[in-house]
Structure 1
């Protein structure tokens, strides 16, 4: 059954799967990018990717949350959603690095 916006359930599932793929891709590409930046092999430094990853890590380890983890399921879902959103930003910030690795790396 299609929604009022015209999207079918299959379209929505594919869109959400794309988010998980971007999160996984960010986690896969961030460590080699960081190593290349530290070694001086890759310039310009993707500061936005570093910042988004730092924010994600701080949010994960910080005791302050939008929804406290005491509310077990809701608190953990809140963490997963926010960190997932941040990882999609990391992935977008790494587009230049991925292009560089495919041509020069």
Structure 2
């Protein structure tokens, strides 16, 4: 939601800055200000939703992902190796298959919405890319926590 709200806000700013003519019969300044306000609201709701989800996970005792972007990127090959060997049950085969399908969709020339449509044509690719990056980042963060917890266990 935060990403989508940011896009709406950017579209509002671009409309305010570069558009002189009416937009669908409405004044450009009104459309730009409206998009900017709606985008800010969606960003705020996205942050609120994210914080509520984090509190719910903590209340249920679910582990929180750790590591920054670079640590998670370095952990991805280890995660894939461990999942393939069966050493890490936290990553089901179905999720790895979904990651593969998402990559295939992003590189294939066939789209659900063609790029010929001005903004909407890129939205499906952007949505798949955001989902893929978020899913991979969360999985690698959980794997880093798993590695850290395993290294802190006393030897048998």
Q: TM class by shorter-chain length?
A: 0.5 to 0.7
TM-score computed with the length of structure 1 as normaliser: 0.55
Cross-structure match for 2:79: 33
Deviations 1:2-23 (A, max 9, x none): xxxxxx83632525888xxx9x
Contact 1:67 1:74 survives alignment (8 Å): yes
Size of the alignment, in residue pairs? Answer: 92
CA distance in 2, matches of 1:30, 1:15: 29
Q: Larger radius of gyration, structure 1 or 2?
A: 2
Stretches of structure 2 that go unaligned for 5 or more consecutive residues are 1-39, 52-64, 152-156
Classify 1:56/1:41 alpha carbon distance in 2 versus 1 (closer, same or farther; 3 Å).
same
Stretches of structure 1 that go unaligned for 5 or more consecutive residues are 1-7
Q: CA RMSD in A?
A: 3.9
TM-score computed with the length of structure 2 as normaliser: 0.41
Cross-structure match for 2:45: 12
